[in-house]
Structure 1
Amino acid sequence: MERDVYFDNARWLMITLVVFGHLIQPYQNMIVLQTSYTWIYTFHMPVFIFLAGFFAKGMGHKAAIEKLVKKLLLPYLFFQVIYTMFYYAIGKEGWLQSVLIPQWALWFLLSLFCWHMLLIPFKYIRPLTGIPLAVLIGVAAGYVDTIGSEFSLSRTFVFFPFFLIGYWATKDQLAVLRRMPIRFGAGFVLISTAIVLYHFPNLSTGWLLGSKSFAEIGADESGGLIRILIYVISAVMMASVLSLIPAKETPFSKYGQRTLYVYLLHGFAIQYIRAEDIFEVSNTLDILGLLFVTFSIVWVLSQRWILRIWKPLIELKSP
């Protein structure tokens, strides 16, 4: 089957935003970067998870589960060890965490495996019932204090609705999103959201990360309503971004096929930059510099020589 470059473009854009979001996280003293960080987190992981669900069709049988164990759990265990050693080497505080708590961004591998397992019963439930049920589970998880970072349980339950939406989505539905009137609306939504976030910079990103209970975020019984509102905002933002992604070949399309490598490896660069406090950001030129660093990290980690080195460890295949 011929690859659909639309999805490669989407993956490349999302992984670039993942790297940029992680890079600017320490510089929240600048209102522009604080707004950018929150804006990115309203949609970048929902889009990534939606795309993972879209390509999960046909999963659930024994051979597929065995493949997922090799593709997700074994790399998770390997990188859990590698990142722990790396954190110790650069003197990062709190490097020795519980083995049950994923290091860095490794939660995604663990949650991705769990989403596929949850899909086994949910694929037999009609989407009009299954998706609201998944939302209900995500809301309920916020009221349980013991559901948190361990085993990435909180994020697994909170983000599962986006995975399930992706599973039930079709190419025809995505094509509808790319109609010109909807694209104009999508642009308005993205710009309007950025303006609102700029004027209300104190929104806790804990609601967008999905890793903590309502009590840890500082919410009371109203936490469920807030999470439902966040679901709506993220879903609209996700649809808006998917609407604007180009469906034609771009210079970056080929890099969209290698996002797993960027996702797993960019943490070494980001954490080293943070540990050594390499950058001082105080003006627009500095922000442009961070953008350049972001594109450089994504470009380097997308090169074939990186794939040849890491493929045996990430995909358990010879180069």
Structure 2
Amino acid sequence: SAPAARQRDAYFDNVKFFLIMLVVLGHFWEVFRKDSGAANAAYTVVYAFHMPVFVFVAGYFSRGFMRSTSKFRGIFPTLVVPFAIFNALYRLLTYFNVDDFQLMGAFRPQYLMWFLVALVLWRLSAPLWSHLRYPVGTAVVLSLIAGTWSFNSDPTLCRAAGLLPFFVLGLTIRTGGDREGGQGDGRGDGRPGPVEALRSRGWTRWAGMSVLLAALPVAYVWERGTIVPKIEHGVRLWNRGYEHMGFSLQEGISYRLLAMVFALVLGVAFLAAVPRGRAWYTRLGTRTMYVYLLHGLVVKSLDYGGVLDDRFFRSPAGLVLVTAGALALGVVLATPPVVRLTRWAIEPQGRWLLKPSQGTT
């Protein structure tokens, strides 16, 4: 008889839902972080871990690229074609709203589009990591060294290199049934992997929530710069090299390692705090690419239109309204009507661009 269809893991759909909500919130809070200490603290905490965890999850669900060459056939229609469509849309927004538009930059990744480019690069590298004895350690060393390379003037390549360890960690981390990390052959000793162990214990959820809540006042005090110096903004964005941030080699490596530690601690706390069971938002977590690509158009339109410049939004009540509106936007963009209207751009029928499958090599 035919094997039963693999059931989706509600936990990871929940993880993706809450991650994409943090992405939307972070882009709205970024507008106000210089005007509000509370918004800046929340922004700092979110940016300390949300993209590293996002990249970790992307690696976790790219494990098939280590085992099957047929997976690579999906890169062009699912990543390259949506990149071309949305990069053009974001560039059009810039063309009509920014005075210093330059044709030379028309094909560079705009705003959120860096992630699609980086994901292509990461997935193309996936087969390499299964052959290394210490893949995560190697990726960490490469990330630290890459902070000195000349391509750091390009924020997309800088992020791709800086965040590489989190992708490799997701790609190779041991899961239940793995004999060794990342292989997933189902012939292991049956011991739960780190993620399964994290989500299987009830106390870890409360511990994770406590760590995330405690991080807010710490970030608030830190960002004031009265006790310890503030961290350069580019460190938490992963988009600038050491020289571009005015660091020496030792300072740059130290700050990047510190960013990795913060991302690991807060990321583990986040994964522990996410609910395990199915809920009303679980299904929405399967449509994160819709939210990711579409919400930026809304954020940029409001920003260019000056809507967010109103003084009311700088008040506590205004910030609460913006936060609620951002969450509502994230939920709406994952609903079936929006999916039906925009599927042509986000999940385009691009298979016709591929040659017939010739098997694996």
Aligned residues: 315
Give the whole-Å Cα distance in 1 for the aligned partners of 2:99 and 2:17.
29
Distance 1:96 1:236, change over 3 A: farther
- Match status 1:231 vs 2:260: yes
Listed as ranges, the gaps of 5+ residues in structure 1 are none
Q: Which amino acid aligns with 1:275?
A: Y
Q: Give the superposition deviation at 1:306.
A: 1.7
- Match status 1:4 vs 2:4: no
Larger Rg belongs to: 2
- Pick from 133, 141, 153 the counterpart of residue 138 of structure 2: 133
Check the 8 A contact 2:87/2:107 in 1, yes or no.
no
- Pick from 192, 213, 217 the counterpart of residue 214 of structure 2: 192
- Match status 1:215 vs 2:219: no
Give the whole-Å Cα distance in 1 for the aligned partners of 2:349 and 2:15.
26
Q: 1:32 corresponds to which residue?
A: 38
Q: Give the superposition deviation at 1:98.
A: 2.1
Q: Give the superposition deviation at 1:217.
A: 1.5
Listed as ranges, the gaps of 5+ residues in structure 2 are 1-5, 177-191, 224-229, 351-361
Check the 8 A contact 1:92/1:275 in 2, yes or no.
no
Check the 8 A contact 2:204/2:273 in 1, yes or no.
no
Give the whole-Å Cα distance in 2 for the aligned partners of 1:161 and 1:195.
28
- Match status 1:242 vs 2:271: yes
Q: 2:184 corresponds to which residue?
A: none
Q: 2:295 corresponds to which residue?
A: 266
1:188-214: CA deviation from partner (whole Å, max 9, x where unpaired): 322332222110113323101111111
Q: 2:164 corresponds to which residue?
A: 160
1:167-192: CA deviation from partner (whole Å, max 9, x where unpaired): 12325321211323433432332233
- Runs (4+) of structure 1 moved beyond 6 Å? none
Give the whole-Å Cα distance in 1 for the aligned partners of 2:100 and 2:291.
24
Check the 8 A contact 1:12/1:255 in 2, yes or no.
yes
Give the whole-Å Cα distance in 2 for the aligned partners of 1:97 and 1:273.
25
- Pick from 231, 239, 262 the counterpart of residue 203 of structure 1: 231
Q: 2:130 corresponds to which residue?
A: 123
Q: Which amino acid aligns with 1:62?
A: T
Give the whole-Å Cα distance in 1 for the aligned partners of 2:106 and 2:98.
19
User: Matched residues, percent identical?
Assistant: 27
Q: Which amino acid aligns with 2:202?
A: M
Q: Give the superposition deviation at 1:93.
A: 5.0
Moved more, 281-290 or 45-54: 281-290
Distance 1:286 1:96, change over 3 A: farther
Q: 1:42 corresponds to which residue?
A: 48
**CA RMSD, Structure 1 to Structure 2 (Å):** 1.9
Give the whole-Å Cα distance in 1 for the aligned partners of 2:60 and 2:96.
39
Give the whole-Å Cα distance in 1 for the aligned partners of 2:338 and 2:202.
39
Give the whole-Å Cα distance in 2 for the aligned partners of 1:133 and 1:265.
35
1:32-69: CA deviation from partner (whole Å, max 9, x where unpaired): 00111111001111111111111111214432112112
User: What TM-score do you get using the length of structure 1 for normalisation?
Assistant: 0.93
Distance 1:74 1:92, change over 3 A: farther
